[in-house]
Amino acid sequence: MQELFIKKPFTFDSTFLPNREKFKQNKVSTMRFEDYHITFEIKKNLSKLGFVKPTDIQFKSIPPILKGEDVLAIAQTGTGKTAAFAIPIIDKLHQQKNLRRNDGIKCLVLVPTRELAQQIGDVFEKLSRHTRVKTFTLFGGVEQNTQIARLEESLDILIATPGRMFDLISQGYIKLDRINTLVLDEADHMLDLGFIKDILDIKRKLPKKHQTLFFSATINEKIKKLAYSLVENAIRIQISPKDPVARNVNHSVAFIKMDDKRFFLERLITENPESKILVFVRTKVRAERVFKAMERVNITSVTIHSDKDQKDRFSVMSQFRSGEVKVLVATDVSARGIDIPNVEYVVNYDLPEQSENYVHRVGRTGRGKEKGFAVTFCSDEEKPILKEIETFMGKEITVMDIEKNDYHDTLDFTEDADGNWKALINDNEAFLKKQKKPFKGKRRK
């Protein structure tokens, strides 16, 4: 059977041509972590993680952060921003001669979601092993007593989501008066409407002299101004400003009627049985609906959104991470920062409401050196949003040309034709015949 969602080879467009940025990257690639003047234990931890050379953003961020500068760093999705701030922060603390255990928290890393807190906490934990630096990760949705017990022990770096942190500050379990470094990961989001009040509140509570680090893949002019207004003389580091998504992501858009999307998703999953696929939808209700639609055609998936119990959220993330479940249906709660290996496809089942979330969603694939495919299902109603995204990205997204026959074949292809799915599942023969039916359509490159 000819595949509709066939993985085409990567085309090399002008962004691949050598340019100054590329040249600078080449220079970077000659540098190795072992050449850095950083703590030996950190080097060993880096080597255990398989990190040999710094990425571009790491190369450029580590020296100014070590020097104590304020930094605003913008670099593509999946290019190692976490280690770019974690390495110098841990190093500085470890080197601090008078690092006293009962001194309180010295560095606060704020992130927007619990899963991201856990993931970044894990990076800090791994990179600080066998150093004198102690880290802890705090988030809501779980019982707070064990967290309080941990906070009362010695602690240098706290990675947290704002909600639970404020709870524990108001209960007197967290003191901010020793913090000399504040990191906002997904900084543009943290400085946006939902979070800005909390951030300003935190800033006011910190010692007057402290270092502030902003990291993200996207930022707009307004938020940039706001970020600069919060610090004195920030160093701005921007890698590949025109291309917020890593180059190894291949983008395409398929024009599909809203009601037909599930059939195309079914087809994409069926044609790629070995692939990890992350499906983004607009709302929690839609996430559960897509889950049910897949269940009806015997496709196992899991969902994640803010209505779910935190235990479930962590559990589905780990099932998806391990590959035990290959399809995760998510709202934008998982769009930012999440680093799961080998996600081969990101499907925008619905278009994101904010253009920058396109970048963050598709940035869940093509991480590090991996390659990834971003497929967007766009209905007629969503075409204006697609235009906005293309403007934001500064380029058009390749259109998958689905011929009429092929489109209809996809609707036939389903196990769920006309909603008469039970009959179809019972009728194995008919199902097998359908699978053998060839597709006539081809895709435009």
> Footprint of Mg ion on this chain (CB under 5 A)?
81, 337
Nearer of residues 127 and 223 to ligand ADP, judged by Cβ: 127
The item of Mg ion, ligand ADP, none sharing an interface with residue 368, based on CB under 5 to 8 Å by kind, is ligand ADP
Contact 276, 423 (CB under 8 A): no
Least distance to ligand ADP from the beta carbon of 271, Å?
A: 27
Cβ distance to Mg ion smaller for residue 79 or 272: 79
Residue 77 engages ligand ADP in binding (rule: CB under 6 A): yes
Contact criterion met (CB below 8 Å) for 280 and 348 = yes
Residue placing its CB nearer to Mg ion in the complex, 120 or 256: 120
Of 100 and 369, nearer to ligand ADP (C-beta) is: 369
Q: Is the CB of residue 359 less than 8 Å from the CB of residue 220? A: no
Nearer to Mg ion, 217 or 424 (CB): 217
Compute the distance between CA of residue 222 and CA of residue 389 in angstroms, rounded to an integer: 18
Which of 368, 388, 403, 441 contacts ligand ADP by CB under 6 A? Answer: 368
User: Residue 364: which of Mg ion, ligand ADP, none does it interact with, CB under 5 to 8 A by kind?
Assistant: none
| For ligand ADP, the closer CB: 336 or 443 | 336
Question: What residues between 238 and 267 interact with ligand ADP by CB under 6 A?
Answer: none
For residues 342 and 370, the answer to whether their CB atoms sit within 8 Å is yes
Which residue of the chain is nearest Mg ion when measured via CB? 337
Q: Which of 78, 121, 244, 366 binds ligand ADP (CB under 6 A)?
A: 78
Using CB atoms, what's the residue nearest to ligand ADP? Answer: 80
H/E run at residue 197: helix 193-205
* Binding residue for ligand ADP, selected from 39, 45, 61, 79, defined by CB under 6 A: 79
Strands 71-74 and 135-138: unpaired
Residues in region 31-60 near ligand ADP by CB under 6 A: 51, 53-55, 58
Query: Do residues 277 and 9 touch, judged by C-beta distance below 8 A?
Result: no
| Closest alpha carbon to 296 in 418, 434, 413, 421 | 421
Nearer to Mg ion, 19 or 220 (CB): 220
Q: Dig out the tokens for 336 from the structure.
A: 């930012």
C-beta of residue 41 within 8 angstroms of C-beta of residue 131: yes
Piece of 14-22, 77-85, 101-109, 400-408 that binds ligand ADP (CB under 6 A): 77-85
Q: Is 88 in the site for ligand ADP (CB under 6 A)?
A: no
Binding of ligand ADP by 114 (CB under 6 A):
no
Which three-class secondary structure string do you get for 278-304? Answer: EEECCCHHHHHHHHHHHHHCCCCCEEE
**x/- letters, 333..352, toward ligand ADP (CB under 6 A):** ------x-------------
Count Cβ neighbours within 10 Å for each residue of 118-131 and write b for 16 or more, e otherwise.
bbbbebbbebbeeb
Residue 218 touches which of Mg ion, ligand ADP, none (CB < 5 to 8 A by kind)?
A: none
Which parts of 291-330 interact with ligand ADP (CB under 6 A)? none
C-alpha pair distances (Å), 161 with each of 78, 107, 110, 170, 186: 21, 14, 6, 15, 12
Q: How far is the CB of 208 from Mg ion (least distance, A)?
A: 29
CB-nearer residue toward ligand ADP: 164 or 367: 367
Taking each helix axis from N to C terminus, what angle separates 81-95 and 114-128, rounded to the nearest 10 degrees? 50
Single out the segment in contact with ligand ADP by CB under 6 A; choices: 76-84, 148-156, 376-384, 399-407: 76-84
CB of 368 to ligand ADP, least distance (A): 4
Report in angstroms how near the CB of residue 23 gets to ligand ADP at its nearest: 19
* Helix, coil or strand: residue 236: strand
Q: Which of the listed partners (ligand ADP, Mg ion, none) does 345 bind, with a CB threshold of 5 to 8 Å by partner kind?
A: none
Burial (CB < 10 A; 0-12, 13-18, 19+), residue 211, is buried
What is the closest distance, in whole angstroms, from the C-beta atom of residue 52 to ligand ADP in the complex? 6
- Closest to ligand ADP by CB, 62 vs 299, is 62
Nearer to ligand ADP, 15 or 405 (CB): 15
Whether residue 129 contacts residue 41, with contact meaning beta carbons closer than 8 Å, is answered with yes
Residue 268: in which H helix or E strand, if any? helix 261-271
Alpha-carbon distance of 88 to 86, in angstroms, equals: 6
Residue closer to ligand ADP (CB basis): 90 or 151: 90
Angle between helices 81-95 and 40-48 in degrees, nearest 10: 150
Beta-ladder partners of 137: 159
Give the residue, chosen from 114, 189, 308, 367, that forms a contact with ligand ADP under the rule CB under 6 A: 367
Q: Which residues bind ligand ADP (CB under 6 A)?
A: 51, 53-55, 58, 75, 77-83, 339, 367-368
